Structure 1
């Protein structure tokens, strides 16, 4: 059998591609801060925590990150620790690669006519806008990459710890439990590196308040997307067939103990 004829191989490629494009996209759209209340058409919610306060404003990247973590759990379910580690390092490399070439593109001398070409759209300096959108600060970039990798490794560990205790039951529990812990790490690490260690030098009260608010939002979003996890699971079982899906799940569950590779080797 040729490698790419195997449905499990095709599935892994599709999951990896979708995972990576979402991870990279989340980093680039994250420069936008949106108002949750205005988006939903509700009155502003004034929150207070640790002496800090504000409205429900989040980065646009938080819309996609819950999907990224669900994709992590899906790959974990069928391809185990090795599969998640592979796509996590691949995604981190692609994010770094994307930021590198975004930086290079910013440094290119803009055409004089292009700089003013969007004035009628309310953008007086296209180069400045381009640099502001694609040139996220170094500390935010570093914080995002470090938090992403740590969060992924934590997710892998917690997912398999829960699986070891519950067996094949309660897919929602290992997905939600691993996301609860990994999102906690991710939310606090990225803000600590970007805004406490970085030039902004946030006070600890602001850091803890904003990180807690971001974590709560991500967690609620992840819980709301649990049906998507089961929908993906059902689609994968139909695509692979019950026998092949069960084989992959069994191999993934024993990935820590030299389980057979899920892909065909002939």
Structure 2
């Protein structure tokens, strides 16, 4: 029985997708504490937008946004071949394991260090090693809570929109259901995480929340559109792996038609 499960192509692919999905989300959360300048990354001066009277806005983004777009690509692929229940399962799994990781980060920060553990690494420019460790792994609770809530809600919205569009378009226009669902869910994701982490957690004004949300969403929407060809590439590879007959069976099952 175990051998049959491990040889089953849809099962093997689902396990691989789930593992990458969870790992990618956890890495995104861990590196999210660093803010980078998108303009400087490409050799430009930071822009200076004004939105709702809040000026000085530029594309200063968390490093987590480098990986989060892949989560929505994976969500669309799982939606296409395994259905909404599978998307919810990997989303709940990711949230549970990320929560577990942050609990372990918290524990590791607060347990006493060994006497021989170096207090600093002067040669690397680190004066206080414990403080540096705390700064990397000790993200604020509002940010952690906000990112997890935003992630889960946006995933469920993505599932809903994706299948609503697919019921109308059928097997055609995968770009519409993939990109369309991502554009909607990314907007919700940006608004929720900023509201929880910075409105409730840091007393931002609503104008500031909306202004920064607009900047973040411009980046996310652009990336979502640019990643559309990846969906087509993945679909071709999966169909080649499964074969046309099994591919069609899985797509019908994902839509609840068999």
Query: What interval of TM-score do these two structures reach, taking the shorter chain for normalisation?
Result: over 0.9
Query: Is 1:139 aligned with 2:130?
Result: no
Aligned to 1:148, the other structure's residue is in SS state helix
Q: Please list the CA deviations of residues 63-95 of structure 1 after superposition, one character each: whole Å capped at 9, or x if unmatched.
A: 111110000000000000111010000000011
Aligned-partner SS, 1:43:
coil
Which one of the candidate residues 169, 176, 181 is aligned to 1:178? 181
Separation in structure 2 between the aligned mates of residue 41 and residue 63 of structure 1, nearest angstrom? 18
Matched residue, 1:263: none
1:25 is aligned to 27
After superposition, the C-alpha distances for 1:186-237 in whole angstroms (9 at most, x for unaligned) are 1000110011111x10011111100111111111111111111111111111
| Count of paired positions | 255
> Contact (CA 8 Å) 2:57, 2:212: kept in 1 or not?
no
Greater mean alpha carbon deviation, residues 111-120 or residues 170-179: 111-120
Partner of 1:159: 162
Q: Secondary structure at the match of 2:61?
A: strand
Partner residue in 2 for 1:60: 63
Q: Cα RMSD over matched residues?
A: 1.3
The aligned residue for residue 50 of structure 2 is: 48
How far apart in 1 are the matches of 2:117 and 2:178? Answer: 47
Deviation (angstroms), 1:111:
3.6
2:226 paired residue number:
224
Unpaired segments ≥5 residues, structure 2? none
Distance (whole Å) between structure 1 residues aligned to residue 88 and residue 121 of structure 2 = 43
Give 1:55 shift: 2.4
State the TM-score, normalized to the length of structure 1.
Answer: 0.93
Rounded to whole Å, the distance in 1 between the matches of 2:132 and 2:245 is 53
1:79 paired with 2:82, answer: yes
Q: Of the two structures, which has the highest relative contact order with CA contacts closer than 8 Å and spacing of 6 or more?
A: 1
State the TM-score, normalized to the length of structure 2.
0.95
Q: SS of the counterpart of 2:83? A: helix
* Corresponding residue of 1:120: 123
* Residue aligned with 1:44, SS: coil
Contact kept in structure 2, 1:67 and 1:222, CA below 8 Å: no
Deviant stretches of 4+, over 6 Å: none
1:246 Cα deviation after fit: 1.1
Structure 1 gaps of 5+ residues are: 261-266
* Contact persistence 2:190–2:217 (CA under 8 A): yes
Residue 264 of structure 1 is matched in structure 2 by none
